[in-house]
């Protein structure tokens, strides 16, 4: 397996943190959901996330210099189980359906969200899942990867 970011490796290894399982797991004992808001998590809908991303990329939410900090000044990054390869100030570049998308994804145990925008086609897409991401302490959204790929291909083809 690749060990460096440029070759598709991860910034750090998380093997052995918790066993991976495709089975449903009750993570309420290992994750304080009441503290989620303190770390920046929020409650939203896919429709609202699409509206946010469209407003962000259309210049309705931030002055251009602030948006440039998010979008233009990205550095290599990688998180276990994700497709994130570059990051700015909260803006990640990820590859879906063989295209570069920009946005953010995240998870807390049992929940996963992905919101993406492709400036080339002006496609904005967001998906959420309450089935979880597998490894309860990882940043994975891996369960949504094939679904997002398929949706993008259907929309753009």
Give tens-digit pLDDT for 38-83: 555 667 889 999 999 999 999 999 999 999 988 888 888 877 667 8
Range with top average pLDDT, 10-19, 21-30, 134-143: 21-30
* Sequence ranges of the domains in the chain: 33-156
Write down the pLDDT at residue 11.
Answer: 45
Strands (E), the chain: 75-76, 84-87, 92-96, 99-108, 111-118, 123-129
In CATH terms, 33-156 corresponds, of 1.10.3470.10, 3.40.630.30, 3.40.710.10, 3.40.50.300, to 3.40.710.10
Q: Which residue has the higher pLDDT, 75 or 17?
A: 75
Give tens-digit pLDDT for 117-152: 999 999 999 998 876 655 544 445 567 788 899 999
Strands of 99-108's sheet, edge to edge?
Answer: 75-76, 84-87, 92-96, 99-108, 111-118, 123-129
Handedness of CA 70, 72, 74, 79 (dihedral sign): positive
Q: What percent of the chain has pLDDT over 90?
A: 34
């Amino acid at each position: 397996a690749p060990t460096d970011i440029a070759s598709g490796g991860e910034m750090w290894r998380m093997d052995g943190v918790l066993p991976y399982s495709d089975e449903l797991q009750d993570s309420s004992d290992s994750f304080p959901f009441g503290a989620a808001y303190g770390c920046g998590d929020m409650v939203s809908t896919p429709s609202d996330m699409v509206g946010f991303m469209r407003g962000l990329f259309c210049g309705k939410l931030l002055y251009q210099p602030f948006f440039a900090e998010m979008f233009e000044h990205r550095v290599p990054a990688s998180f276990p189980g994700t497709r994130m390869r570059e990051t700015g100030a909260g803006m990640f570049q990820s590859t879906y359906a063989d295209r570069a998308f920009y946005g953010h994804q995240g998870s807390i145990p049992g929940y996963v969200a992905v919101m993406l925008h492709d400036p080339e086609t002006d496609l904005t897409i967001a998906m959420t899942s309450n089935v979880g991401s597998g490894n309860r302490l990882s940043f994975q959204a891996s369960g949504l990867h094939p679904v997002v790929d398929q949706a993008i291909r259907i929309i753009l083809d």
